[in-house]
Structure 1
Amino acid sequence: MERVRKLASEKGVMIFSKSTCCLCYSVHLLFRELGIDPYVHEIDHDPEGKEIEKALLRMGCNGPVPAVFIGGELVGSTNEVMSLHLSGSLVQRLKPYQKLS
């Protein structure tokens, strides 16, 4: 769990993902469309991926992936991200991390 916290705190917007997960891809695409270039950590390419997956579940993510962190804080998985987006509060949380045009 410490490695997950460390990785998430080092990046502004972090997505723990699996390369074959369509929901992970959709969340990543949403962030890109909002002007965010998130750091994506593919846990299926990490030798400690199973441990990361367990840690994410223990931290409260309701599916192991996608697990989204903003500013080192766990936002959640697809449902939580989409709820924030639909309410308009996701954009506000992402403002400090948007690319300058």
Structure 2
Amino acid sequence: MAKYLWRVSYSPEGASGLLAQGGSARRAAITEMVESVGGHVDVCYFAFGEDDLFVVGDVPDEVSAAALAIRTAASGAAFSHTVVLLTPEQIDEAVAREVTYRPPAQLS
């Protein structure tokens, strides 16, 4: 399964729901949502700043990640940004892979 970081910002309506239900209830709802597509939540942290919440977990594939993003956006309660996370070993594999590439400066 692929590992993801979800950066979440609440709308005013979402923040009101958080005030009413609390952080633990929100974490439980997020965990239930991710598990409903066959995934797993590793950590869930609330934060100060541009993002209100960070969630790290995994889901089976990109379609599952897209389903979560669409449902979150459709609710209007939160705005989510999905980031694919790679292990150091995956980067080792990527840098070892042969790629044909010509930089723009070498257009001759």
Q: TM-score, normalized by length of structure 2?
A: 0.31
- Structure whose CA Rg is larger: 2
Q: Is the helix fraction higher in 1 or 2?
A: 1
Q: Is the strand fraction higher in 1 or 2?
A: 2
1 or 2 for the larger relative contact order (CA 8 Å, sep ≥6)?
Answer: 2
